[in-house]
Structure 1
Amino acid sequence: MLRLLLRRFAGALVVLALVAVLVFVLTRLASGDPVALLLGDQATAADIAQARIRYGLDKPLTTQFVLWLGELGHGNLGQSIFLQQPVAQALVDRAEPTLFLALFAVAIAALIGVPAGMAAAIWRGSAADQAVSTVAMLGASVPSFWLGLILIQVFAVHLGWFPASGYGDPGTGFGQRLVHLALPAAVLGLLNSALIIRFTRAAMLDILGEDYVRTARAKGLAERTVMLKHVLRNALVPIITVIGLTVALMIGGTVVTETVFNLPGVGNLVVRAVLRRDYPVIQGTLLVIAAIYVLINLLIDLLYTVADPRIRLEGK
């Protein structure tokens, strides 16, 4: 078990190192000068040159990369060019909406996806199965911005049940903030439930054909006991995988939804940083998101050992 985790951890470090290189190179390949955007059209060449020296952009790319790695080694993600604050602080300030949006949306996706996938597998080939599969296909193909605009029009404009955008005033309570997250969470939850439905259905169908399921039914066990104890429990590994990956996708992929609903989250921060060519913010944010992906994958590996003891034995 320990050896398995050490291998996973070593692989995670390699992934983060590759991400750091790719993020640094790709941000520098993008057109546009952040200093020129910061100073505006009235800035002279001397002003731009002086600002480039101040932010270390006059140095060779290899030197900039080494300096950035040195800062990362000390736990510093860099200093934002436009926000004039540490990147870590900018992320902390905007983490709450993104984090709660992701968790809220994953809860909705799981509560819809797992039961619907189970129902589709149990009544395979029936009208219910066809209906669930059709809804899953629609959910996988509908653009998030379109669904967001539809929900805003219906539930915010016409019915007035939820706010159309924003995250509330600075003094707004936590309950009211969750109300602001209801529509964007519904958008992400509904769309991502499609993937959970398909994975749950496929995993359940694989287990339903096993001999021990037929044996359990032959013993006269209640169908509910067979489904929950023998089928769902043994199908948990792929279901845990897809739910864990959905969490990671939510955290890293809320850019469009946060833009549509004007949420002051990490996705909105990344969009503004890209438009401004704010290299430190882009680099730091993408590296943190990659680290979250890696951490979630490690947690999924740990959950595997809980869901299936055979995996624990194989890791020894």
Structure 2
Amino acid sequence: MTRVVVRRLLEMALVMAIVVTIVFVIVRIAPGDPAAMMLGPDATAKDVADLRARLGLDQSLPAQYGRYVWGLLHGDLGQSIFLARPVTQALWERAEPTFFLTLFSILIACGIALPVGILSAYRHGSVFDQITSTVAMFAASIPSFWLGLVLMQLFAVKLGWFQPSGYGGPGASLGERLNHLVLPACALGIVSSALIARFTRASMLDVLGDDYVRTARAKGMSEIRVVLLHAFKNALIPILTVIGLTAALLISGAIVTETVFGLPGVGSLVVSAVLRRDYPVIQGTLLVVAGLYVLINFIIDMLYLVVDPRVRY
């Protein structure tokens, strides 16, 4: 098991090294001067030269790369041009809405998808199975921002049950802030549940006809124990994989939904950074998201060892 963990950690380090290199190269190979693009057409030559010196763009490429990597190793993602603060601080200030939005979205998605997928596989070929499969295909094709607008119009504007946008004032309580996340979390969770439900159904169908399931039934076990204890446990690896990928996609894919609902999260920070051409913020966010992707995949790999001991060997 130790060998597996060490190998995964080395793979994580290699992937992040590649991502860091790609992020570094993208800015350097972009047409035009990055400093001039950040400052806009009204900037003077002195302003551009000063910014190039601040960003280290006046140095050789090997020196720039070494300085960039050295800063990352010390937790320095750069300095935001327009926010006049470190990128790490800017991301941390916006992390709470994005974190809770992603967490609630994946909980809603799993809460819908897992029971539906299990029951659909258990009743394979029934009317319930056909209806849920059709609904899942339809839900997978719905843009989350469009569903968010529909939910906002129905539950916020007409019924007034939830807040239509924002994240509460500076002194808002946690409950009030979470109330603002209900609709965007439902929008993302419902759309994401379609893929998880289909994978759950397919994975359960693969194991429900296996010999050990028939043996468990022959021993007189209840259907609930057979389905949940024997079949579902052995079907978990592909389900965990798609849940992990969904969680990673929600982190990076919440940008549009956050913009629609006016949430001051990482998504809105990225949108404003792109409009302002604040490259340090864009680079830092890209690295953080890539790091979260790698971390989630590592956690899923470790869960494999818990779910199926055969993976250790």
Check whether TM > 0.5: yes
Superposed CA offset, 1:3-33 (max 9, x none): 0111111111111011111122223444576
Give 1:152-171 correspondences, 5 Å limit: 152-171=152-171
Indicate whether 1:257 and 2:273 are aligned.
Answer: no
Closer, same or farther: CA 77–50 of 1 in aligned 2, 3 Å: closer
Q: In 1, are the aligned partners of 2:38 and 2:278 still within 8 Å (CA)?
A: no
The separation in 2 between residues aligned to 1:210 and 1:267, in whole angstroms, is: 45
Indicate whether 1:242 and 2:242 are aligned.
Answer: yes
Which amino acid letter does the alignment assign opposite residue 99 of structure 1?
F
Quote how far apart the aligned CAs of 1:46 are: 2.8
Q: Name the structure 1 match of 2:297.
A: 297
Q: Name the structure 2 match of 1:309.
A: 309
Q: In 2, are the aligned partners of 1:34 and 1:278 still within 8 Å (CA)?
A: no
Q: In 2, are the aligned partners of 1:102 and 1:247 still within 8 Å (CA)?
A: yes
The separation in 2 between residues aligned to 1:40 and 1:47, in whole angstroms, is: 10
Q: Name the structure 2 match of 1:6.
A: 6
Which amino acid letter does the alignment assign opposite residue 44 of structure 1?
T
**TM-score, normalised to structure 1's length?**
0.94
Closer, same or farther: CA 304–39 of 1 in aligned 2, 3 Å: closer
Superposed CA offset, 1:250-285 (max 9, x none): 112211111111111111111222222222111111
Q: In 2, are the aligned partners of 1:305 and 1:311 still within 8 Å (CA)?
A: yes
Which amino acid letter does the alignment assign opposite residue 262 of structure 1?
G
Closer, same or farther: CA 277–63 of 1 in aligned 2, 3 Å: farther
Indicate whether 1:151 and 2:151 are aligned.
Answer: yes
| Structure 2: tracts of 5 or more residues without a match | none
**TM-score, normalised to structure 2's length?**
0.95
Indicate whether 1:112 and 2:96 are aligned.
Answer: no
Q: Name the structure 2 match of 1:103.
A: 103
Closer, same or farther: CA 32–132 of 1 in aligned 2, 3 Å: farther
Closer, same or farther: CA 107–64 of 1 in aligned 2, 3 Å: same
**Secondary structure of 1:290's aligned partner:** helix
Indicate whether 1:71 and 2:71 are aligned.
Answer: yes
Superposed CA offset, 1:201-227 (max 9, x none): 011001111011112122222111111
**Secondary structure of 1:250's aligned partner:** helix
Quote how far apart the aligned CAs of 1:237 are: 1.4
The separation in 1 between residues aligned to 2:203 and 2:219, in whole angstroms, is: 23
Quote how far apart the aligned CAs of 1:41 are: 5.0
Q: In 1, are the aligned partners of 2:38 and 2:277 still within 8 Å (CA)?
A: no
Quote how far apart the aligned CAs of 1:47 are: 2.9
Which amino acid letter does the alignment assign opposite residue 311 of structure 1?
V
Q: In 2, are the aligned partners of 1:32 and 1:277 still within 8 Å (CA)?
A: no
Q: In 2, are the aligned partners of 1:20 and 1:283 still within 8 Å (CA)?
A: no
The separation in 1 between residues aligned to 2:279 and 2:39, in whole angstroms, is: 16
Q: Which moved more, 1:239-248 or 1:14-23?
A: 239-248
Give 1:1-316 correspondences, 5 Å limit: 1-30=1-30, 35-36=35-36, 39=39, 41-312=41-312, 314=313
Corresponding residue pairs, total: 313
| Structure 1: tracts of 5 or more residues without a match | none
